[in-house]
A = this chain, B = another copy of it.
Amino acid sequence: MTASVTVRVQREDFDLAAEVAALCHGRSDIGAVVTFSGLCRDEAGALAALELEHYPGMAETEISRICREAVTRFGLQAATAIHRFGRIAPGENIVLVIAASPHRQAAFDGANFVMDFLKTSAPFWKKEHHADGSVGEWLSAKDADDAARDRWSRER
């Protein structure tokens, strides 16, 4: 069975259970499903919202490319990635990644790999809106995220 890859970039929230159900629908050869949900943290009450800007078109293309690479590299049976844009409040979902495979480590590695590359390669930018009403800075990319990505080239 060909691996299925589902990618969406959308303003609205997503439904974790519905996405897992869609990915598993009609097949009983999947042994392991790993999901990653990235949420907006309130930063101890200082944050009112994150504003997510994206590059329409390229965002979908880039995430699809990362998912297909994960499918090939880890032998995934299916992969899903959904990334939201627009204004996102603390506690709300930002991103969902799902990886399915016959065995557990491939599913863990697949989801982890997609997140690491999505962080550093998918064209999204976050701006903070403070709880005091002021508009904060654009978040800076972290060296730790580059390091997390680069470990995947060391490991093989």
Interface majority SS (helix, strand, loop, mixed), chain A: mixed
Pick from B29, B40, B44: contact of A41, CB under 8 Å:
B29
Bound CA span A44–B30, Å? 11
For the complex formed by this chain, how many copies does it contain in all? 2
Contact with B along A81-120 (1 / 0, CB 8 A): 0000000001100000000001011011001100100000
Bound CA span A132–B59, Å? 49
Pick from B28, B37, B44: contact of A32, CB under 8 Å:
B37
Given the interface pairs A16-B17, A17-B15, A111-B108, the reply to whether A33 lies near B27 with Cβ below 8 Å is no
Pick from B29, B102, B108: contact of A108, CB under 8 Å:
B108
Q: Which residue of B lies closest to A25 (CB)?
A: B91
Residues in B neighbouring A5, C-beta threshold 8 A: none
Inter-subunit contact B107/A36 (CB<8 Å): yes
Q: Report if A31 contacts B (CB, 8 A).
A: yes
Bound CA span A34–B102, Å? 18
Pick from B30, B33, B42: contact of A28, CB under 8 Å:
B42
**Which 7 residue pairs of A and B lie closest in terms of their CB atoms, listed nearest first?**
A17-B17, A28-B91, A28-B90, A28-B42, A33-B37, A35-B35, A31-B41
